[in-house]
Amino acid sequence: MESHQDILKQAQEKVLAALSPAALKEIEREFLGKQGAVAGLLASIPSLPAVQRRDVGKNANLLKKAIQQALAERGEALAATSLSAERKGEGFDPSLPPASLMTGSLHPITQVTRELEDLFLSMGYSVIDGPEVELDWFNFEALNIGRDHPARDSQDTFYCDEAGKFSLRPHTSPVQVRAMEKLEPPFRVVAPGRCFRNESTDASHEHTFHQMEGLVVGKDISVGHLIGAMKTLLRGIFHRDVEVRLRPGHFPFVEPGFELDARCPFCNAGCSVCGRTTWIELLPCGLVHPKVLQMSGIDPEVWSGFAFGLGLSRLVMLRYGIDDIRHLLGGDLRFLEQF
């Protein structure tokens, strides 16, 4: 069996040759670990003649301390060397190119939102914002959506409390109400933002999506104004004139209400985007219901207005040819890096 001096000498040589903290750790394990040389010495004690036991035990402890000390000193020396090398700039090559910087890009929804905001600002609109957790009054009541309306169904709306006083807004329309209560007519506003609906998701449905609500209140506002604004909007998005048509649609907060369809910008004779019809359902709109104006403190005898709810998510999909709405908020970099 090796004497404790032999072991110490071996350990010291290895310690001095070590060039990194990891190498020191390895040496520590080799000599002081559970299977190490010192443990071996201690384990041999019971089998020794009684007269030797005391000395061997004592020497083993001295050996352990000596190795620990050598490790600590070498550790300090290594740390000092690397610090001074760093200070002198050794190992630093200023001619090397920098580590590549990850640059992001704006989300396609943000890009289209900003473009539309600019467009509407140029048409004299203001861009406004509203809360995503909304009071029942703004979400439904003030929009003429009665207690028994299907949109009130808990299947569609994420309620935040037992009493149903708060919910995640299922559309951007509550911002209309907030605008009407706060602003003096005449005014024009658009309100882009996130909406939430409790529905099962598929390629065209997502629990979180984006809308842009528009509202114009003034004197003698007619359906003609509405169509004019929508055509300007579509020209801004698709960079050319797009034919539109109105179909009657029922929404509690407008009278008359319409579904506005745009001529499919991708085909002449029908394609998969327009379902072979050459028309794309784009947005619900209409003249603001007199009752809705009244509830927000605007005299419907004097003022009238139009409103529209543009599906921003849908528009982004049309613009970039995205076939599944779930890509938009899926957070997959392979998707996002394309924009």
Question: Rule CB under 5 A: which residues touch Zn ion?
Answer: 264, 266-267, 271, 273-274
Q: CB 272 → Zn ion: shortest distance, Å?
A: 8
**Which one, 166 or 279, has the nearer CB to Zn ion?**
279
CB-CB contact of 245 with 261 (8 Å): yes
Q: Cα–Cα distance between 154 and 141 in angstroms, integer?
A: 15
- Among 316, 336, 337, smallest CA distance to 210 is for 316
Q: CB 281 → Zn ion: shortest distance, Å?
A: 12
**Which one, 103 or 272, has the nearer CB to Zn ion?**
272
Residue nearest to Zn ion (CB): 264
**Which one, 179 or 264, has the nearer CB to Zn ion?**
264
* Number of other CB atoms surrounding residue 182 within 10 Å: 12
3-class state of residue 228 by DSSP: helix
Q: At what angle do helices 4-17 and 37-44 cross, to 10 degrees?
A: 170
Residues in the chain: 339
Q: Token pair of 238, please?
A: 């698709």
**Which one, 223 or 273, has the nearer CB to Zn ion?**
273
**Which one, 65 or 276, has the nearer CB to Zn ion?**
276
Q: CB 321 → Zn ion: shortest distance, Å?
A: 11
Q: CB 309 → Zn ion: shortest distance, Å?
A: 23
Q: β-pairing, 208-218 with 244-248?
A: unpaired
Place of tokens 């019809």: 277
Q: CB 279 → Zn ion: shortest distance, Å?
A: 8
